[in-house]
Structure formats: C-alpha cells, structure tokens
Amino acid sequence: MLTVLSPLAARAAERLGALRHLPALVRLVYAASPRLLVLSLGLRLARASLPVLMLYLAKLILDAIVAEHARPHPAGLGPENWLVDPALRQLGLLVAAEFGLAILADLLGRASTLVDGLVADLYGHAATLKLMRHAAELDLAQFEDSAQQDRLERARRQVTGRSNLLFQLFGQGQDLITLAAFAIGLIAYAPWLILLLAVALVPAFLNETSFNREGYRLAWTRTPERRQIDYLRFLGASVESAKEVKLFGLNGYIAERYGTLAARLLADNRALALRRAGWGGAFAALGTLAYYLAYATIVWRTLAGQFSIGDLAFLAGSFQRLRGLIEGLLLGFSQIAAQAQYLDDLFSFFAVVPEIRSPADPRPLPRPIRAGLVFEAVGFRYPGSETWAVRGLSFHLAAGEVLALVGENGAGKTTIVKLLTRLYDPTEGRVLLDGLPLSAYDLDDLRARIGVIFQDFVRFSFTASENVAVGRIDARGDADRIARAARRSLADGVIDRLPLGYEQPLGKRFAEGVDLSGGEWQKIAIARAYMREAEILILDEPTAALDARAEFEVFQRFRELSQGRTAVLISHRFSTVRMADRILVLDGGRVIESGSHAELQARGGRYAELFELQAAGYR
C-alpha cells in the first residue's frame, strides 16, 4: 500500500531528513580536536543554570529591599550596620552572590567563545584536508563532469564554517536546560503562561522553517551561476588573463556579463529577503503582544496581593527569557535543519567514490617491464559522449621502444595517453602490461612508474626547485636529483639565470615571483618527467612553445636519455617524430599506418602526405 504524505508531513520529513548528517559532522569536529570539543560542551553546561540563579537572586534581593524598607532602622543604614544587622548582612551576601555569578557568567562566556573559535579553526583545517584528499582520489571523468564540478563547488563552500552548526546545536542544548529551569519556576506560579507562549511562537517557527528551505533551494539551483561569477571575477582580475583581457578589450564584456549574472542572483536574494522580513515582522509582533498580555496579567495579580514585588520581577523576567528561549529554540531548530541541508552538499561529495581504483589484491608490477604494453581492440567514449574517441585500437608498445603518435587533432592521441596512465579505463577491450590488464596492478604504483608531461602542464607558483620536484614530490629534498633532472631537460640554463637560482619563486601570483617564457616553462615541465626516473616516459606535445632548434635539442637529449626506457612521443613536428623507433598514424581513433619514418615515407600514404605538407611550409 502506498502512503501519500501531506504537504506539511512531507516538509517535516525533509527537515528531519536533513539532520542525518549531524552525527558525521560531530565525528569530523571531534576528530579535529577531541579535548577542546569536550571542554566546549562542559562550558556550555556550566553556563546553562546561571541565568535562572541570577534572576532568582534578583527576586530575593527585591523582596529583601521591600522588607527592609518597611522595617524601622533607629541606628540608620551606615556601613557598620551592614556587618552587625543579620537582615542587612544577608542582603549584602545576596548582592555579592549575584555579582559573583555575573563575573562567572562573563568568564565562562569568554572561555566558551575562545574554545569554540579554536575548535572551528582546527575543524576548518581538518575538513579542508579531507576535501583535498578525497578530491585527489576521484577519477578524471568526475572532475570533467559539470554536475560533479557543481557538487565540488558546493562542498568547497561548506567545508569551513559548518562547525558553527555544531556549536549552535550545543547552544540549543544549553538553552533547553535553561528553559527547563525557567519553566519549572513559571509553572509553579502561572502554568497557563507557557501555553500562551507556545501559541504565539509556533507560527513564527513554521514561517522561518519555510523560508530556510526556500533559501537553500535558491542557493542549490544557483550553483552554476555562482561558478560562472567566480570565473568571471577571476578573468577580470587575474595575472594569468591580464594580457588577453587588455589586448582584446574584454574588460567591458566581462564586467557586463558579470553584472548581468550578479544582478540576477541579487534580485532573487532581495525578493526572498523582503518576503522573509515582512512575514517575520508580523509574527514577531504577535510574540510581543503575547508578552505584554502576560505582563499585564502578572502586574494585576501583584496589585491584588497574590505576588510580591520580587515575584513580579522574577515572573516578568522569566516570561521574557522564556519567550526569547522558546523563540530561539524553535528558530534555532529551523536554522539547524536548514544548515544541515548544506551539510548534504559536503557529505554527498565525500560519498562520491572513484570508479578507477586499485584491486583488493593487486599484482606486483614487473621490475623491469619485459613484454611491454598491448592495446587489444580498445574502444573508448568520454562520459556523456556518443562519439568514440578510439575504436578497435590494437597495437603493441615493446619494452624499451620509442613510439611516436601522429595524427590530426581529434585522432585519439591524447586519449591513448590517458588510457595508458589509467586516467580512464577502456569502454571496451583491454590495455595490458606484461600480459595483465592495467586494472590488475596497484593504481599508485602503476602511475609512479610512468612519467607524463602534457601540453597543458601546470605552472605552479612554487620555487624553481619545487616546480621540478613535483615530478617526484617525495624526493623534493634531493637537490642532486633535481639538478640532474634540470640538466637533462636543458632547464638548468633557465634556472641558472634566475636571481635566486633554484630557490627563485616562479610566476607573478606572489611577491618576488619571476615569470618565464612559454619555452622556459616547458623545459621546467619536461624536467619533471626526468625527475620521476620512470620506466615509461610520455611526452604529449610538451614542446609546442619551443622553436624548432630548441625542440630538436630537447628531443635529441630525450632520445639519448630514454635508452632502455619505454617512451611515447606526441608531436606535430615531423623532424621530432622521425627520431622514434616506430610511428603510429591515427585517424578517427584507429591506427591506419605503422612503421619507421623511412618505411612510412616509402609507402606514400597518409604519413608521407602530412610530412610533405609540413615540409612545403619550410621551402
């Protein structure tokens, strides 16, 4: 039997369902700082009973003052009388006790704020590291999917600051204890006042709940626009894009596009804020009306002699505090439920698991590689695409062989590199290493044996030494290895000219940074491949910014230093490609020709045609 929930029940279920991530948040915060979190909870428990004690002391003080005012004092009220008169001495002790509680409440409040701030900092640090580490485990396909990018953006926005949700939850517990103490005192005098408060404040709670839900949905649906706004903000004020923006006169276009998107978001937020303020004001007025109705009743009963002046102060103060506590608890719960929805953005990202992983019982990688790599009828389609990037692809890359891949853009060259490095797994067919599928080996171990430099390599705003060391970051303290890698890629000449040499910060993002030309950056990037000292080297168009002579020198050095290593070269310059032992010509994701430079030239096929077209440009 199907049960159809009413709209109210469905909304309540949605609210409560959002709280399912609170235990996970508690575990995250606790892991960041167990002792401080327990201390924060203890401080709040200690503060919970102080407001009731202070208000009750105020009642006793007022009643004592009224009594003393009615009692004659023949000797006067000098300081000496406060020490010898029992009633005055008791009044003085009550005032001193209230003063002591006030000091204690202030100290506990400051300590709680301090501890909460420390815990929030530690949690933000721990949660950011967890986010970065989890993101590093995800597949390349998950990074390239726009929906996953939206999810990552939402998670990144929630990784800091959500510790406040836990402290708000602790605050709710503290307020509940305080509320219970006030309610006990109030019920003893006038239990119907509690019912009046609830009737006045529940509508305000439901109103706030509704607007919190609407605010979250607005934030969720506007994530793509926010990402575009962040990107436009980056383009409009970034050293990486400054040249093109200035030369192409894009400032106005970027600002206009940013303004259009931002105005749309601001209009949505403004409309929501106005409606929220209007309804919130109306329900707040209802709560105020309830308070003064109760206050008038208490005053009337005091005048009738049913309550003392101290009782009046205690009841009026208790009712006012209860009103604030109940309103705060109801709205606080609504806010906690609303913020808990944002936690879903964070923990749903943590729940994303990579599809490309190491097997439970990985086989040891062969050392050294003997048979090489084999593509067996490999086909691959990028996620969301109906077009095959490669299909029916079969070839053998022998151990110690230098293989070049040639083809026009979109022929499948870079896709082959991604399959070799298990950034993707084939849609069909297999890629074998020494007779076993790549998926049989430990993923980290496999990638550690491969050195790859892509055309769109990252220009890290690190020192020159660190920019080379990223090829084998665990060896960043090995200065000799870094210098050796730089010499092999001819980057040593670039680094030697820098004012601080290997310790020179690169890029213009930070102070004292020095930017390099495109060709100089590429030599630094190629050094990373040598830094890795891997058995398999892959250079995917890494020399596009080099002139013909510099590229020839780099690849000549590469050919000499890759002796005994398996290597893959991708380049549009045939003067470089001809250095390979064997050349594969790709078209539409298939191998259409294979052979050495001389063999392919003699056949007069596609390779010979492309070679002649390029050679004609130099004549």
pLDDT tens by residue, 393-422: 999 999 888 899 988 888 888 899 899 989
Q: What is the pLDDT of residue 9?
A: 47
Rounded CA separation 576/235 (Å): 36
User: Are residues 149 and 143 in contact, defined by beta-carbon separation less than 8 angstroms?
Assistant: yes
* Alpha helix positions (H), 384-517: 413-420, 443-448, 464-469, 479-488, 492-496
End-to-end CA distance of the chain: 82
pLDDT band at 2 (very low <50, low <70, confident <90, very high): very low
Fold for the domain defined by 20-350: ABC transporter transmembrane region fold (1.20.1560)
Element (H, E) at 188: helix 163-189
Residues 6+ positions from 64 with CB-CB distance below 8 Å:
87, 90, 91, 94
Of 476, 3, 422, 7, the closest CA to residue 210 belongs to 7
Give the residue among 516, 520, 540 at the shortest CA–CA distance from 529: 540
d(CA 408, CA 454): 17
In this predicted structure, what is the pLDDT of residue 544? 61
When the candidates are 3.40.50.300, 3.30.70.920, 3.40.50.150, 2.10.69.10, the CATH number that belongs to 459-533 is 3.40.50.300
What is the C-alpha radius of gyration for the chain, rounded to an integer number of angstroms?
A: 36
Contacts of 29 (CB under 8 A, 6+ apart): 37, 119, 123, 163, 166
Query: What average pLDDT score do residues 575-597 get?
Result: 87
The pLDDT confidence band at residue 8, using thresholds 50, 70 and 90, is: very low
For residues 245 and 258, what is the distance between their CA atoms, to the nearest angstrom?
14
* Tens-digit pLDDT profile for residues 87-143: 777 878 888 888 888 899 889 889 988 888 888 888 878 888 887 787 777 777 767
Window from 20-29, 41-50, 90-99 with minimum mean pLDDT: 20-29
pLDDT for 431 beyond 90: yes
Specify the pLDDT at position 3.
44
Identity of residue 568? V
* Share above pLDDT 70 across residues of the chain, in percent, rounded to a whole number: 77
* pTM exceeds 0.75: no
Q: Which amino acid is at 262?
A: A
pLDDT digits (tens, 9 = 90+) for 513-544: 888 887 788 888 888 888 888 888 888 876 66
Structural domain spans, the chain: 20-350, 459-533
Given a contact cutoff of 8 angstroms between Cβ atoms, the answer to whether 502 and 493 are in contact is: no
Work out whether strand 402-406 and strand 582-587 pair parallel, antiparallel, or are unpaired: parallel
